[in-house]
C-alpha cells in the first residue's frame, strides 16, 4: 500500500476515536446545558428557602433539601467509622488467609449489588425486623450500608500509600500498634480517606432506589427532620414531580429547579474531593 | 498513660477492627439470606419453572400470573441496546484518552468523565422524559418516546464512565515495549492500536464491559422513568418495557406485606442478584487474568 493512502486513513482512524470522545462529551454537555438553562429561571433565594406550597405547584424545596442533608449526615455517621475501621483491619491487621480473601470478595460483590436490592434489604432489616418503620433513620442506615464497600475500598487504597517505614519508626519508639495507626497512619492518609468519603457521600446523596421503600415521602407538611418519621429528599422529589404528580406540566419548572439544585450539590461535593486530592498530590511531590 | 492500659486499648481495638470486617461478611450474608428466605416462601406457592418461563406478569389479575420472562427479556433488551451504544463509544474514548490525547487534554477529559459518572440516575431519567422522549416520539412518529430505545440510550450514558475508566486503565497498562516493537517493524499508530494494544488489553476491556453490563442490569431509576413500564414481551426497541428493577420499584410500594406478590418481588430480586453477580464474577475472572499476565 502506498504511504499516501495510509496518511488519509490515519486521519479517518484518528477521527473515529476523536468522534467517539466528542459524542461522550456531548452527552455531558447536553445534560448540563438542559438542566442549567431550564433550571436557572426557577432558582432563587425563595426557591431554596421556602417549603413546598399548594400541592407542590408553588413554593420552594426547603423540605427536600433538609431531608437530603440529614439523610447524608446519617449515612456519614454510620458508614464512615465502620468503613474506616474495616479498611484498617484489612490493611493493617489481616493476614493473607482464607478469611481475609473472603472478606475482600464480599466487599467486591457488595459494590456490585444493585441499589434497589439494598432498598429491599433496608426494608426487611430496618423497617420491618428492627421496627424502625419507614423513617429517616431507616433510609439513612440503608444508604450507609450501600456506601460501606466504597468507603472501605477507597480508605484501603489511601492506607496502602503510607510507606511501611513510617509504621516501623513509630513502633520502634515504643508506640503500640493502635497508637501507630491512630497517630501516624491515619493522619498521613487523611486526605486520601477524605477524598473517598466525600465522593461516596455525593453518590449517596443522589441515590433514589434505596430510599423508595425505606422512608421517602411524597409530601411532608411543615417541618421534617425527626429520625423516626418519613422525610422528603431531593432525588425522590424530582422523581415524584416528573412522574407521579397529578399536574406534571405545571410543576415542570420546579422539577427543573430541583434537578439543578441536586446536580449542584453533587458537583460541589465532587469538586471538594478533587480539591483535596489535588492538594494531597501536590504535598506528596 | 500506664503501660498496661495502653496494651489493653491496643488489644480492644484489634477486636473492634476485626469485628467490622466480620460485619461486612454479615452484610452480604444477610442480603443473601433475606433473598433466599423470601424466595423460598414464594416458591412454596409457585413452581420455580413456571416463574422463570411464564409468559405473563400479572400479579394483580383475578387469577394472578407470576411469569417473569417478560421482565427478564425487557432487562436483556435494554441492557443489550445500551451495550451496543456504549461499547464502541467507550473503547474508542478510552483509546483516544490513553493513546492520542496530550496531557493537557487528558486533564480535561478525565474530570469530564468523572462528572458524567457523578450525575444522579434520577436526573438522567428526568432528561429521558423531557428531552429524549419527545425526540424519539418525533423521529419515529409515536405518541410518546418512553420505550426500550430511550432506556437503552440513557443506560449507555450511565455505563459509559465505568467502561471508559476501566478500559483506559487496561490500555494504559500495556507495556511500552509492545508498542515500540510494533513501531519498530514499521506499523502505524492505528495498526499498533488495533493489532497489538487492543488485543493485549482485551481481558481488561472485557472486564470494563462486564462491569458496565452489571451496572446497566441493576440500574433502577432511569429505566423506571424512561421505559414506559408495560409488562409485555417487547417485540422491538420502540416497545415500552418493564425491567426487573422497575417492577420491584413500582410494585413494592403498593403490595400488601407477606403475600405471594410480595414474595414474588423478592424472587425477582434474587434473579437480579445472581445476574449482576454473574456479570461481576466474569469481569473479575478477566481482570485476574490480566494481573497474572502482566506480573510475568
Q: Which residue of A lies nearest to B246 if distances are taken between CA atoms?
A: A116
Mean pLDDT, rounded, for B154-165:
94
Say how far apart CA A68 and CA A60 lie, in whole Å. 15
Q: With an 8 Å Cβ cutoff, are A27 and B95 in contact? A: no
Angle at A140 between CA A110 and CA B212, to 5 degrees: 35
Picking from A93, A176, A267, the nearest residue to B18 by CB comes out as A93
Give percent above pLDDT 70 in chain B.
Answer: 98
CB burial string A238-247: b at 16+ within 10 A, e below: bbbbbbebee
What pLDDT, on the 0 to 100 scale, is given for residue A96?
87
- In the numeric block, the cell 422524559 is attached to B129
Cα separation, B258 vs B243, in Å, equals 23
Give how far A83 is from chain B: nearest CA, Å: 8
Q: Mean of the pLDDT values across residues A249-276?
A: 89
Partner-chain contact A112 B27, CB within 8 Å: no
* pLDDT tens by residue, A214-244: 888 777 776 666 777 888 889 998 998 888 8
- Non-local (6+) Cβ contacts of B281 within 8 A are none
Q: Which residues of B touch A20 (CB under 8 A)?
A: 88-89, 92-93, 96
Give the H or E element holding residue B86: helix B69-95
- Cell representation of residue A20: 467517539
Residue from the list B96, B119, B253 with its beta carbon closest to the beta carbon of A263: B119
Give the model confidence (pLDDT) of B143-153 as tens digits: 888 888 999 99
Q: For residue A224, what pLDDT is reported? A: 62
Dist. CA B244–CA B220, nearest whole Å: 9
Higher pLDDT: A55 or B251? It is B251
d(CA A105, CA B25): 9
∠ CA B25-B28-B32 to the nearest 5 degrees?
135
Helices B260-295 and B198-218: crossing angle in degrees, nearest 10, is 160
Is the minimum CB–CB distance between B134 and chain A shorter than 8 Å?
no
Name the least confident of A5-19, A71-85, B165-179.
A5-19
CATH of domain B53-295: 1.10.3720.10
Q: How far is A75 from chain B (nearest CA, A)?
A: 16
Q: Does B248 touch chain A (CB under 8 A)?
A: yes
Give B 7-46 residues with CB within 8 A of chain A: 7, 9-10, 13-14, 16-18, 20-21, 23-25, 27-28, 30-31, 34-35, 38
**Pure H helices in chain A:** 3-39, 45-49, 62-88, 98-112, 115-122, 136-160, 164-172, 177-180, 186-206, 234-243, 248-284
Contacts of A115 in chain B (CB under 8 A): 218, 220
Cα B251 off chain centre by? 22
Q: Do B190 and A117 touch (CB under 8 A)?
A: no
- Kindly report the number of other CB atoms within 10 A of residue A266's CB atom: 22
- Nearest-CB residue to A20 (from B16, B93, B211): B93
**Helix (H) / strand (E) containing A58:** strand A58-59
A66 pLDDT higher than 90: no
Tell me which residue has cell 494504559: B172
B224 neighbors B249 (Cβ within 8 angstroms):
yes
Q: What is the mean pLDDT of chain B?
A: 89
The tens digit of pLDDT for each residue in A118-148 reads 999 999 999 888 988 888 999 999 999 999 9
CA nearest neighbour of B194 among A198, A185, A14, A34:
A14
For B273, the enclosing helix (H) or strand (E) is: helix B260-295
A231 bridge partner residues: A216
Q: What average pLDDT does this structure show over B29-40? A: 93
> Domain-by-domain residue ranges, chain B?
3-44, 53-295
- Please return the burial class of A251, using the count of CB atoms within 10 Å of its CB with bins 0-12, 13-18 and 19+: buried
What backbone torsions phi and psi does residue B253 show, to the nearest 5 degrees?
A: -75, -20
**B139 at A interface, C-beta within 8 A:** no
- Does B228 reach chain A within 8 Å, measured CB to CB? no
The pLDDT value recorded for residue A58 is 74
Nearest to B266, CA basis, from A43, A116, A160: A116
Question: What is the number of H-type helices and E-type strands within chain B?
Answer: 13, 2
Q: What is the mean pLDDT of residues B46-74?
A: 86
User: Do the Cβ atoms of B97 and A14 come within 8 Å?
Assistant: no
Round to whole Å and give the CA distance between A87 and A149: 10
Mean pLDDT of chain A: 87
Separation CA B181–CA A10 (nearest Å): 20
All residues of chain A having their beta carbon less than 8 Å from the beta carbon of residue B27 are: 106, 110, 145, 148
User: Would you say A244 and A218 are in contact if contact means Cβ atoms under 8 Å apart?
Assistant: yes
CA-nearest of A249, A212, A243 to A230 is A212
Check residue A39 and give its pLDDT.
87
Give contacts of A142 with chain B, Cβ < 8 Å.
none
pLDDT at site A168: 93
Alpha-carbon span B95 to B110, nearest angstrom: 13
Nearest to B21 among A17, A103, A121 (CB): A103
pLDDT at B296: 43
Is A96 buried (19+), middle (13-18) or exposed (0-12) by CB count in 10 A?
Answer: exposed
The string of pLDDT tens digits covering residues A4-42 is 556 777 788 888 889 999 999 999 999 999 999 988 888
| Contact between A115 and B277 using a beta-carbon 8 Å cutoff | no
Question: What is the predicted pLDDT for the residue at B31?
Answer: 94
- CB A103 to CB B25 under 8 A? yes
**B247 interface with A at CB cutoff 8 Å:** no
In sequence order, what are the beta bridge partners of A59? A52
Chain A residues within 8 A of B30 when measuring between CB atoms: 121, 125
Residues in chain A, total: 285
Taking only residues 153 to 212 of chain B, the set having a beta carbon closer than 8 angstroms to any beta carbon of chain A reads: 157, 160, 164, 188-190, 211
pLDDT, average across residues B34-62: 87
A18 to B276: CB separation less than 8 angstroms, yes or no? no
A136, A227 contact by CB (below 8 A): yes
Tell me the chain A residues in contact with residue B249 when contact means C-beta distances shorter than 8 Å. 116, 119, 209, 212
CA angle, A133 as apex, A128 and A134 as ends, to 5°? 110
Residues A122 and A115: their CA atoms lie apart, in Å, by: 11
Interchain CB distance below 8 Å, B273 and A90: no
Mean pLDDT over B171-180 rounds to 89
The residue with cell 428466605 is B37
The ipTM assigned to this model is: 0.91
**CA atoms of A261 and A40, how far apart (whole Å):** 9
Nearest residue on chain A to B15, judged by CA atoms? Answer: A89
Q: What is the pLDDT of residue B284?
A: 84
**How many Å lie between the alpha carbon of B176 and the closest alpha carbon of chain A?**
20
Mean pLDDT for A54-75 is 84
Count of CB atoms situated within 10 Å of the CB of A27 = 20
Amino acid at each position: 500500500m502506498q504511504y499516501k493512502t495510509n496518511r488519509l486513513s490515519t486521519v479517518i482512524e484518528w477521527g473515529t476515536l476523536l468522534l467517539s470522545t466528542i459524542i461522550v462529551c456531548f452527552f455531558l454537555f447536553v445534560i448540563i446545558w438542559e438542566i442549567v438553562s431550564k433550571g436557572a429561571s426557577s432558582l432563587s433565594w425563595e426557591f431554596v428557602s421556602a417549603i413546598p406550597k399548594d400541592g407542590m405547584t408553588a413554593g420552594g424545596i426547603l423540605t427536600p433539601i433538609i431531608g437530603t442533608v440529614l439523610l447524608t449526615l446519617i449515612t456519614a455517621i454510620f458508614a464512615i467509622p465502620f468503613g474506616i475501621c474495616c479498611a484498617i483491619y484489612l490493611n493493617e491487621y489481616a493476614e493473607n488467609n482464607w478469611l481475609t480473601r473472603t472478606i475482600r470478595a464480599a466487599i467486591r460483590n457488595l459494590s456490585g449489588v444493585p441499589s434497589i436490592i439494598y432498598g429491599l434489604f433496608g426494608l426487611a432489616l430496618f423497617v420491618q425486623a428492627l421496627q424502625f418503620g419507614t423513617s429517616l433513620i431507616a433510609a439513612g442506615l440503608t444508604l450507609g450500608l450501600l456506601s460501606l464497600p466504597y468507603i472501605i475500598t477507597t480508605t484501603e487504597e489511601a492506607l496502602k500509600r503510607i510507606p511501611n517505614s513510617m509504621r516501623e519508626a513509630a513502633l520502634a519508639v515504643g508506640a503500640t500498634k493502635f497508637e501507630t495507626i491512630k497517630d501516624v497512619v491515619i493522619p498521613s492518609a487523611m486526605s486520601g480517606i477524605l477524598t473517598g468519603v466525600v465522593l461516596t457521600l455525593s453518590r449517596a446523596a443522589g441515590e433514589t432506589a434505596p430510599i423508595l421503600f425505606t422512608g421517602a415521602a411524597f409530601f411532608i407538611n411543615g417541618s421534617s427532620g425527626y429520625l423516626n418519621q418519613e422525610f422528603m429528599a431531593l432525588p425522590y422529589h424530582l422523581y415524584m414531580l416528573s412522574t407521579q404528580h397529578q399536574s406534571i406540566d405545571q410543576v415542570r419548572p420546579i422539577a427543573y429547579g430541583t434537578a439543578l439544585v441536586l446536580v449542584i450539590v453533587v458537583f460541589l461535593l465532587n469538586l471538594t474531593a478533587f480539591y483535596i486530592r489535588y492538594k494531597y498530590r501536590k504535598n506528596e511531590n | 498513660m500506664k503501660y498496661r492500659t495502653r496494651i489493653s486499648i491496643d488489644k480492644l481495638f484489634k477486636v473492634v477492627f476485626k469485628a467490622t470486617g466480620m460485619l461486612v461478611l454479615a452484610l452480604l450474608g444477610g442480603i443473601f439470606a433475606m433473598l433466599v428466605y423470601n424466595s423460598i416462601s414464594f416458591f412454596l406457592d409457585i413452581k420455580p419453572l413456571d416463574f422463570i418461563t411464564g409468559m405473563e406478569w400479572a400479579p394483580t389479575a383475578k387469577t394472578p400470573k407470576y411469569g417473569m420472562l417478560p421482565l427478564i427479556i425487557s432487562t436483556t433488551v435494554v441492557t443489550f441496546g445500551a451495550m451496543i451504544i456504549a461499547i464502541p463509544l467507550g473503547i474508542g474514548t478510552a483509546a483516544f484518552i490513553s493513546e492520542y490525547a496530550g496531557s493537557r487534554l487528558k486533564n480535561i477529559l478525565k474530570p469530564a468523565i468523572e462528572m458524567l459518572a457523578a450525575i444522579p440516575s434520577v436526573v438522567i431519567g428526568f432528561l429521558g422524559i423531557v428531552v429524549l422522549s419527545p425526540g424519539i416520539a418525533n423521529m419515529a412518529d409515536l405518541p410518546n418516546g418512553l420505550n426500550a430505545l430511550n432506556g437503552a440510550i440513557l443506560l449507555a450514558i450511565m455505563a459509559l464512565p465505568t467502561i471508559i475508566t476501566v478500559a483506559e486503565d487496561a490500555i494504559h497498562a500495556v507495556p511500552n515495549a509492545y508498542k515500540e516493537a510494533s513501531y519498530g517493524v514499521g506499523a502505524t499508530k492505528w495498526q499498533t492500536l488495533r493489532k497489538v494494544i487492543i488485543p493485549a488489553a482485551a481481558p481488561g476491556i472485557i472486564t470494563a464491559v462486564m462491569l458496565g453490563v452489571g451496572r446497566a442490569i441493576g440500574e433502577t431509576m432511569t429505566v423506571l422513568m424512561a421505559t414506559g413500564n408495560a409488562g409485555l414481551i417487547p417485540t422491538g426497541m420502540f416497545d415500552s418495557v418493564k425491567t426487573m428493577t422497575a417492577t420491584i420499584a413500582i410494585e413494592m410500594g403498593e403490595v400488601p406485606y407477606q403475600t405471594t406478590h410480595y414474595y414474588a418481588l423478592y424472587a425477582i430480586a434474587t434473579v437480579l442478584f445472581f445476574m449482576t453477580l454473574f456479570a461481576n464474577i466474569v469481569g473479575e475472572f478477566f481482570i485476574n487474568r490480566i494481573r497474572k499476565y502482566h506480573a510475568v
